[in-house]
Amino acid sequence: MPDVIGKVINFISGDGEPSSDKDILLKQLGKEISQNKYAKFFRVKQRELDPTFAQYFYSVYRVIYPLQCFLRDPVNEARLKQVTLEAFLDKQMMDMLKRLSPEALAERKKSAGAELANQLEEELAALVSGFDSPKIAAADACYDLIASMKQFVFFHFCSMLKKFDPEIREGDFLTQPKFTEVDANFVAPDLATFLSIMPVFEENSDWKTVFEIFKYCKGGTDVIPMVHWNNLLTSLKDLRQAKILDLIGKLSTGNPIWEIRHSAPPHETLSASWLEQKSREIRWVINEILGNQRSIQINALVNAVFGTSEIIRLSFYIPEKERVLLDKGIDGYKYASALNHLFAFIQDFVEKEIQELCDLLLVRGQWTNSAASRQMSEGYHEVMDITRELAELDESLDDDGSNGARLRGALLRIDRDRSQNRYINSIINTVNEEALNMINRAVPSLIVVGKHFKMLMDDLQKKPFELIMNWKELALYTKTPMSQRIAAAYKRINYFVQLMILETKPLEEDR
């Protein structure tokens, strides 16, 4: 094996015998170039590229430059994707896309109500299923052809031509260039790049459709005449078959086994990427509709429970305090509104009306079912116990608190140390999880209390009473009729539970 490697190294480097295999091959390459139809491109003895070589590439550059400018424009690129896809869609799919265009969606949002979200879900599902067809595959193939063209026309023609005429300017075809001969080894890297992207198109490539799409995107005018492109492809095919560029590359680099592989054009499944983008647009509208609906529902419930929409009872775990975090690109206090509402509900209602009712019903009431009274008592005390934990969590975010001190220090360092971002997010996420845990414990407990209030409301309507035997006696301890107080408490708990569910569940679950 070492002998084989040594021979290869000697072959490439030319070390060894005076008349090595490499020298013989290089001489043979020189003969092949001199007999090639494009022999004028290369001066074998001087190992130089002739000005005619640059003139040929200049002629190619003149043809493709308008395409280069057109395809480089991001606006045209986005338009090309859309028009290429639409060129292969049937009327039914086109009608659907019109209904799902940004302009149409904006109009539909003005006149449609909550049902629009469901309509868009159905239309999106129909759109996705409609993209599984031969026509869509044809659109992908057409865009692959455009991608191959882009790879070729974006070759740095002007940069290479500057090696033959330093005065040449990009896109200037009025000034006649003054090309001179150039050491071929100086241009070898450019030659290698060009060979790697030199187009190899199938004979039946649908250029007619491609150029019709270009023309449509350019407002009805040709980017370049299609006949110029076809003539260019014919010329490049002849150049490739003559293998003159490969021969020049081998001789100029002194490497007889010099070989460049063709680079496959970047493949992008047009339909998949377009559908993904369109799905995101539609999904954003759906979420916006659902978000608006949720906001309306939340505001109505907050007003029903508290009589006002402004409820802030905590000092640190509040929406206002999270702004500095969001401005730094950090996660916010995800359950700030919900936790403030929970704290206010406990302070304003559970510690007052619910506590009074529970003291009256559980202490003075003569229950026939001790298990039921025990469940109601446990639910009430579970909610009351959360109050202390809730206050502790909020206080931990104070500047002197366990979480607040760490957050303050990390925020001071975040501008010069972006790793603090992850550290801060871990603290915030932990706090958010604790907040959600308290809400998730409080809600089932409130449901238990509310369920028992409903049972008591029903019991008051029965004759004789079945759950509490001394309702008449209990009525003496309250100015407001017991049935009204229990019904009002049940109603408020029911509204509050709905509020907590809306404020904590992901928006996707609304669908």
Question: Which residues contact residue 359 at a Cβ distance below 8 angstroms, ignoring those fewer than 6 apart?
Answer: none
pLDDT tens per residue, the chain (511 residues)?
Answer: 444 444 444 544 545 454 578 888 888 988 998 999 999 999 999 999 999 999 999 999 999 999 999 999 999 988 998 899 888 888 888 888 888 888 888 888 877 666 888 888 888 888 888 777 777 888 888 998 898 899 999 999 999 999 999 999 999 999 999 999 999 999 999 999 999 988 777 767 889 999 999 999 999 999 999 999 999 999 999 999 999 999 999 988 888 888 888 777 777 778 888 888 888 888 888 888 888 888 889 999 999 999 887 889 999 998 888 787 777 777 888 999 999 999 999 999 999 999 999 999 999 999 999 999 999 999 999 999 999 999 999 999 998 899 888 888 888 887 787 778 888 888 889 999 999 999 999 999 999 999 999 999 999 998 888 999 999 999 999 999 999 999 999 999 999 999 999 999 876 555 5
Domain match, 223 and 325 both: no
Residue 498 resides in a domain: yes
Residue 41 resides in a domain: yes
Domain match, 386 and 456 both: yes
Structure tokens given for 350: 């559970």
Domain match, 249 and 327 both: no
Residue 450 resides in a domain: yes
Domain match, 52 and 156 both: yes
Q: Give residue 15's Cα distance to chain centre.
A: 56
Q: Model confidence over 234-286: pLDDT tens digits?
A: 999 999 999 999 999 998 888 888 888 877 777 777 888 888 888 888 888 88
DSSP 8-state class, residue 156: -
Domain match, 68 and 169 both: yes
Boundary of a domain, candidates 237, 253, 269: 253
Range of the domain at 344: 311-400+429-510
pTM above 0.85, yes or no: no
* Diameter of the chain measured on Cα atoms: 124
Q: Model confidence over 313-357: pLDDT tens digits?
A: 999 998 888 787 777 777 888 999 999 999 999 999 999 999 999
Distances (CA, A) of 397 to 303, 322, 428: 28, 11, 10
Instruction: Determine the Cα–Cα distance for residues 434 and 448; give it in Å rounded to an integer.
Output: 22
Residue whose C-alpha is closest to residue 148's, from 234, 67, 218: 67
Question: Could you give the 3-state DSSP secondary structure of residue 468?
Answer: strand
Boundary of a domain, candidates 232, 253, 274: 253
Question: Look-up: residue for tokens 């070989």?
Answer: 259
Domain match, 157 and 235 both: yes
**Amino acid, single-letter form, for residue 433:** E
Domain match, 393 and 477 both: yes
Residue whose C-alpha is closest to residue 139's, from 89, 85, 90: 85
Residue 229 resides in a domain: yes
- Average pLDDT value for the chain: 87
In the chain, how many domains are there?
2
Domain match, 232 and 316 both: no
DSSP 8-state class, residue 133: S
What would the 3-class secondary structure string for 415-438 be?
Answer: CCCCCHHHHHHHHHHHHHHHHHHH
Residue 8 resides in a domain: no
Residue 278 resides in a domain: no
Boundary of a domain, candidates 204, 221, 253: 253
Domain match, 247 and 356 both: no
Domain match, 52 and 187 both: yes
Domain match, 335 and 241 both: no
Bridge partners, residue 183, by sequence? 48
Residue 54 resides in a domain: yes
Residue 116 resides in a domain: no
Question: Which residues contact residue 246 at a Cβ distance below 8 angstroms, ignoring those fewer than 6 apart?
Answer: 195, 258, 259, 260
Domain match, 495 and 389 both: yes
